[in-house]
């Protein structure tokens, strides 16, 4: 039987805008993008947000897809249509909200330009616009020279609702298409489930928090949240018991109190509070302030560890295997 996988990989960890320079080399300067490889065998490729980090991820996925195609072609017993079907790049992208740092990389996502790609895009309705309308405006003239509607990849767009679950059943089925249910959802052991929870703690239209579960393990992606008066009860229930909580921790308390209150981002103290109350296994500090250098992020990680021992600061290339 094929091996189970649940691997989280970070491609962009900054907030607000990309930043470059020697002072960012250890953590990286790309904006939000996290890859999750989950399921049995080749499993499912899930992507959280399309910040500038998705550009390099897209190039990597294309190289892997081409390698699979070449491998299948070496087998004489495979017909051409079987090679095309088995080597197709199947990706599901989950958008938290429509701000530029979470979408800036989408037009440069290489699989969009490949006919072997099947891409599903999930995201909330924003300012009375569907996620398809938001993305289409981003990737069409006059903002971009190529219209996303003219690309050779296969794309579908899905406006996600609060407490909705997008699931794949890996037990005895070859279907790559997910099914939709609502919370509370009784999961099967072989099921991959992505649950969505809306929060209004980020201006102006809020953001979506995603909880991914598989094989009894769980990771929660909670970026662009701010808890001015303590964590929301509904948020704590949503993250409770997660093995890994990826949480916005953009500011030091000093910067937050001086000029950043109400911007929709957290301090390390807010992230630590969520980890403690939610009884999570590991806290990952994320959505780093772009003006902070590596040394500053190291100091914030150390301060957070004094309050919650199992804390790490996210960096590009970081991997977490939830099934080890």
Report DSSP state, residue 256.
Answer: I
The total number of residues shown for the chain amounts to 324
Of 263, 261, 283, nearest in space to 272 by CA: 283
Indicate the average pLDDT of the chain.
Answer: 93
pLDDT for 18-28, tens place per residue?
999 999 999 99
Let me know: does 222 contact 209? Beta carbons within 8 Å.
yes
- Tokens matching residue 148: 């996303």
* Residue 246 CB partners (closer than 8 Å, separation 6+): 8, 34, 219, 220, 221, 222, 223, 284, 286, 314
In the predicted model, is pLDDT for residue 115 greater than 60?
yes
Q: Taking the CB of residue 3, how many other CB atoms lie within 10 A of it?
A: 8
Where does the pLDDT of residue 288 fall: very low under 50, low under 70, confident under 90, or very high at 90 and above? Answer: very high
CA distances from 88 to 111, 194, 307 (A): 11, 22, 45
* Residue 110 CB partners (closer than 8 Å, separation 6+): 55, 58, 59, 61, 62
In the predicted model, is pLDDT for residue 63 greater than 60?
yes
- What class is the 4-321 domain? alpha beta
**Average pLDDT rounded to a whole number, residues 103-120:** 98
**Average pLDDT rounded to a whole number, residues 6-34:** 98
* Residue 181 CB partners (closer than 8 Å, separation 6+): 164, 165, 167
pLDDT for 163-212, tens place per residue?
999 999 876 555 689 999 898 777 777 899 999 999 987 877 789 999 99
> Where do the structural domains in the chain lie, given as residue ranges?
4-321
pLDDT for 70-101, tens place per residue?
877 676 565 555 556 666 899 999 999 999 99
pLDDT at 86: 62
């Amino acid at each position: 039987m094929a091996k189970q996988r649940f691997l989280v990989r970070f491609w962009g960890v900054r907030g607000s805008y990309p930043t470059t320079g020697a002072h960012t080399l250890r953590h990286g300067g790309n904006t939000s993008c996290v890859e999750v490889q989950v399921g049995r065998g080749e499993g499912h490729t899930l992507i959280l947000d399309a910040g500038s980090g998705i550009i390099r991820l897209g190039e990597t996925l294309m190289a892997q897809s081409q390698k699979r195609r070449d491998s299948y072609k070496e087998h004489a017993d495979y017909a051409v249509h079987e090679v095309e079907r088995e080597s197709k790049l199947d990706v599901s992208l989950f958008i938290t909200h429509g701000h530029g740092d979470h979408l800036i990389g989408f037009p440069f996502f290489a699989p969009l330009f490949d006919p072997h790609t099947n891409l599903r895009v999930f995201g909330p309705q924003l300012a009375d616009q569907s996620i398809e309308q938001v993305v289409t405006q981003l990737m069409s003239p006059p903002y971009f020279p190529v219209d996303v509607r003219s690309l050779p990849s296969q794309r579908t767009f899905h406006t996600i609702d609060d407490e909705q679950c997008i699931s794949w059943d890996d037990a005895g089925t070859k279907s790559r298409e997910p099914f939709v249910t609502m919370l509370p959802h009784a999961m099967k052991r072989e099921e991959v489930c992505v649950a969505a929870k809306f929060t209004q703690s980020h201006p102006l239209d809020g953001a979506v928090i995603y909880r991914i579960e598989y094989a009894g393990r769980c990771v929660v992606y909670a970026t662009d949240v701010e808890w001015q008066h303590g964590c929301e009860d509904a948020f704590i229930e949503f993250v409770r018991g997660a093995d890994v909580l990826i949480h916005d921790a953009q500011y030091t308390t000093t910067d937050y109190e001086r000029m950043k209150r109400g911007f929709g981002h957290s301090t390390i103290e807010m992230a630590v509070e969520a980890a403690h109350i939610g009884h999570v296994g590991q806290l990952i500090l994320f959505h780093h302030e772009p003006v902070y250098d590596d040394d500053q992020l190291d100091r914030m990680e150390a301060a957070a560890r004094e309050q919650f021992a199992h804390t790490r600061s996210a960096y590009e290339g970081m991997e977490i295997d939830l099934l080890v």
